[in-house]
Chain A
Amino acid sequence: MSTVPSELAVETEPKGVLPTGSAPTPARRVIATLRKSPAVVVSVGIIVFIVLLAVLAPVISAITGWGPYEYDPSAIDSDLGGIPIGPLGGISAEHWLGVEPGNGRDILVRVAYGARVSLMIAVSATLITTTFGVVMGMISGFFGGLADQIISRVMDFLMAFPSLIFMIALLSALPAGNRPVLLVLVLSIFGWPYTARVIRGQTMSLRNSEFVEAARASGARPLRIAFREVLPNLRGTIIVLATLAVPSYIGTEAGLSFLGVGVMPPTPSWGQMISTAVGWYAVDPMFFLIPGTFLFLTVFSFTVLGDNLRRVLDAGDAA
């Protein structure tokens, strides 16, 4: 994260007299607590696995010998309408997770490349919305007044929007272009208020705390107070919000791709693969089960991690 506070700023805060009790829980203690939870360990394991899958997609492609766009007519039965030859959707030594019906593309390689697209979009959107949301939320909460009025109205407006249907309308009207970039933009436009709203609330309560008053009395300038005193105290919240934003963007991207307005073929994406699988689900269930399982595991793991981070950080705050 871009919000690593300077150690000095954290240490010089008068510990124990914080009215909101929101001293940042030391990262080491948080990690130690999280490591005791089997659910978290498994989730982190799955996330690492998916990230490796995404990063190593070209390597996997080289090892299996199949490209993401490469057809394999020998793996499908053209007499039966193109269903994969062999059990479980054509799982074999040649194609480890089977092939797509109709064209025989390798599912493992496409899932790996799909993970790339999904993670890249979700992580980019998370970075943008977190940065923008934190800045907007802090300006709004710290300075109040007219800036707060304007930012709050814009947030209210964006949040009153039925964003999914609007994203669909927007994406269906936009020309093809660079789909992943468009998706990141659209997700970010509607995503940042959810971060900003929480940050605004917390900044408002921190603004009136004693250590901020102390800093103000010692002559620190507003910007310095905002970045050195308030921001470090928001670290936990920011990490939790960002961790939970990733799965929500992955889910939304997959949904949009499923509906045909997200990532466009031939670029592989999980939502789009499941969408194609709708026509085949009765004869080749593996085609929707495999990408669906990857999608589920990714969203599930990030959510479990985010939930537990929040629990541990909240408990740390209360202590």
Chain B
Amino acid sequence: MTLVILRRVLAAAGVLLLISLFTFMIFFWLSPDPAVQICGKTCTPERIDQIREQLGVNLPFWQQYWQFLSGIFTGRTYGEGAAAIECAAPCLGFSFQTNESVTDMIVARMPVSVTLAIGAAVLWLLAGIGGGLLSAVKQGTGWDKAVMISALAGISLPNYFVALLLQYLLVVQLRWLPFPQSVTFAEDPLLWFQSYLMPWLVLAFGYAAMYSRIVRTNVIDTLGQNFMRTAKAKGLDAPVVLRRHALRPSLTPVVTLFGMDFAGLLGGALITETVFGLNGVGKLTADSIAKNDQPVIMGVTLLAAALVVVANMVVDVAYTYLDPRVRVKSA
């Protein structure tokens, strides 16, 4: 058992290392010289060399990669002497456009993304699992059709389109909600809730659509299994059969998906945050892309990758406890 977990952790660490290497390579070879960008229009060759040295971009690839990696664990210093800039561990890089460490920038934006992810997750799990279950049990009825058509719409509607539509209807036309604003819960609980309501709904709609389709297929599949007949023959109540025997095995793939989706959202809901002007990690990414602030783009990419990989690993390890079949297979 410990061996299985250890193997998973090592595999995840390997994937993370590869991802960091690929990300670093992309920015090392493909992106324009950051020194030129920082130096601006009134630039001399000496000044460029000076900046290159300060950034450490005059060093060979492996040395730079090593500096970057060790910076994550031990922190790093850019430049020397009075002009030196400290970047404390875990240092994901330093943005010379904002003069802030990338880690600090991400940490400052994290609460918004976390709030967004948790609220949306509650909604989409309720709607996705509930809808899928309803649709499977009432297979072929109007309920089933209604849920499945909404689900189809949900997976076909781009979330920025839903966001604009909702904002136009609820804010501009009907005036039911104020324009979303960046407020904390402590400042104004009502405005906070009103500001997050639309982003939650928009995010949840897309995920709920996907989840309800998966839950429906799995529940219908499980309902046809022999152990279901046995459970019914034992004289168990229909709701008990449904909850204890049908739902549980049907939710296994949902757990996998949920781990990845939730972790992905913690790394920033780029589109939703941008459309609603929420100052989360996603908006930070979008803004950095617009400004071509590469250290930030790289830092956020790595963080997002790390979150998904770690979530995957946690789900995998959790399975070995939850599902005996997986344990046998991997042992």
Query: B301 touches which one: A165, A247, A275, A292 (CB < 8 A)?
Result: A165
A271 to B159, CA, bound (A): 11
Query: 0/1 per residue, A122-164, Cβ < 8 Å to B?
Result: 0000000000000000000000000000000000010011100
B161 with A292: CB separation less than 8 A: yes
A295 to B160, CA, bound (A): 12
A179 to B168, CA, bound (A): 31
Tell whether B127 is near chain A: CB-to-CB under 8 Å: no
Contacts of A300 in B (CB 8 A): 152-153, 156
Tell whether B267 is near chain A: CB-to-CB under 8 Å: yes
Contacts of A166 in B (CB 8 A): 23, 301, 305
B152 with A303: CB separation less than 8 A: yes
* Given A157-B18, A165-B300, CB of A258 within 8 Å of CB of B158: yes
Chain A residue with Cβ nearest B30 = A173
Tell whether A40 is near chain B: CB-to-CB under 8 Å: no
Tell whether B250 is near chain A: CB-to-CB under 8 Å: no
Tell whether A174 is near chain B: CB-to-CB under 8 Å: yes
Query: A162 touches which one: B267, B292, B294, B297 (CB < 8 A)?
Result: B267
A172 with B168: CB separation less than 8 A: no
A251 to B154, CA, bound (A): 12
A247 to B156, CA, bound (A): 8
B156 with A288: CB separation less than 8 A: no
Contacts of B297 in A (CB 8 A): 168-169, 172-173
Nearest-Cβ distance from residue B269 to partner chain A, whole angstroms: 11
Query: 0/1 per residue, A255-294, Cβ < 8 Å to B?
Result: 1001111000000000100110110011001001100100
B30 with A303: CB separation less than 8 A: no
Query: 0/1 per residue, B163-178, Cβ < 8 Å to A?
Result: 0110110001000000
A174 to B32, CA, bound (A): 9
Tell whether A299 is near chain B: CB-to-CB under 8 Å: yes
A281 with B168: CB separation less than 8 A: yes
Nearest-Cβ distance from residue A263 to partner chain B, whole angstroms: 15
Looking at chain B, what size class is its interface with the partner chain?
35 or more
Tell whether B155 is near chain A: CB-to-CB under 8 Å: yes
Looking at chain A, what size class is its interface with the partner chain?
35 or more
A281 to B163, CA, bound (A): 11
Chain A residue with Cβ nearest B264 = A162
Tell whether B258 is near chain A: CB-to-CB under 8 Å: no
* Most B CB within 10 A of own CB, among A169, A172, A258, A289: A169
* Given A166-B305, A251-B158, A281-B167, CB of A258 within 8 Å of CB of B271: yes
Chain B residue with Cβ nearest A275 = B160
Tell whether B113 is near chain A: CB-to-CB under 8 Å: no
Contacts of B236 in A (CB 8 A): none
Per the 8 Å Cβ criterion, residues 56-73 of B in contact with A are none
Nearest-Cβ distance from residue A7 to partner chain B, whole angstroms: 34
Nearest-Cβ distance from residue B210 to partner chain A, whole angstroms: 11
B164 with A255: CB separation less than 8 A: no
Tell whether A304 is near chain B: CB-to-CB under 8 Å: yes
Query: B157 touches which one: A174, A288, A296 (CB < 8 A)?
Result: A296
Nearest-Cβ distance from residue B165 to partner chain A, whole angstroms: 8
Tell whether B43 is near chain A: CB-to-CB under 8 Å: no
B158 with A295: CB separation less than 8 A: yes
Query: 0/1 per residue, B12-46, Cβ < 8 Å to A?
Result: 00010011000100110011100000000000000
A259 with B309: CB separation less than 8 A: no
Contacts of A254 in B (CB 8 A): 158
B300 with A157: CB separation less than 8 A: no
Tell whether A170 is near chain B: CB-to-CB under 8 Å: yes
B30 with A174: CB separation less than 8 A: yes
* Most B CB within 10 A of own CB, among A258, A285, A307: A258
Tell whether B286 is near chain A: CB-to-CB under 8 Å: yes
Chain A residue with Cβ nearest B173 = A285
B164 with A258: CB separation less than 8 A: no
Contacts of A307 in B (CB 8 A): 152
Contacts of A260 in B (CB 8 A): 286, 289-290
Contacts of A277 in B (CB 8 A): 164
A161 with B305: CB separation less than 8 A: yes
Nearest-Cβ distance from residue B54 to partner chain A, whole angstroms: 21
Per the 8 Å Cβ criterion, residues 165-205 of A in contact with B are 165-166, 168-170, 172-175
Tell whether B312 is near chain A: CB-to-CB under 8 Å: yes
Query: B292 touches which one: A172, A271, A299 (CB < 8 A)?
Result: A172
Per the 8 Å Cβ criterion, residues 263-321 of B in contact with A are 264, 267-268, 270-271, 274-275, 285-286, 289-290, 292, 294, 297-298, 300-301, 304-305, 307-309, 312
Given contacts A160-B312, A168-B289, A259-B286, list 17 more A-B pairs with CB under 8 A.
A160-B309, A162-B301, A162-B305, A165-B264, A165-B300, A166-B305, A168-B301, A173-B297, A175-B30, A259-B274, A260-B289, A278-B275, A281-B164, A281-B167, A285-B168, A288-B164, A296-B156
- Which A residues fall within an 8 A CB radius of B? 157, 160-162, 165-166, 168-170, 172-175, 247, 251, 254-255, 258-261, 271, 274-275, 277-278, 281-282, 285, 288-289, 292, 295-296, 299-300, 303-304, 307
Could you give 18 example pairs across A and B, Cβ below 8 Å?
A: A160-B312, A161-B19, A161-B308, A168-B289, A251-B156, A251-B158, A258-B158, A271-B158, A275-B160, A278-B160, A281-B167, A282-B172, A292-B158, A295-B158, A299-B156, A299-B157, A303-B152, A303-B155
- Which B residues fall within an 8 A CB radius of A? 15, 18-19, 23, 26-27, 30-32, 152-153, 155-158, 160-161, 164-165, 167-168, 172, 264, 267-268, 270-271, 274-275, 285-286, 289-290, 292, 294, 297-298, 300-301, 304-305, 307-309, 312
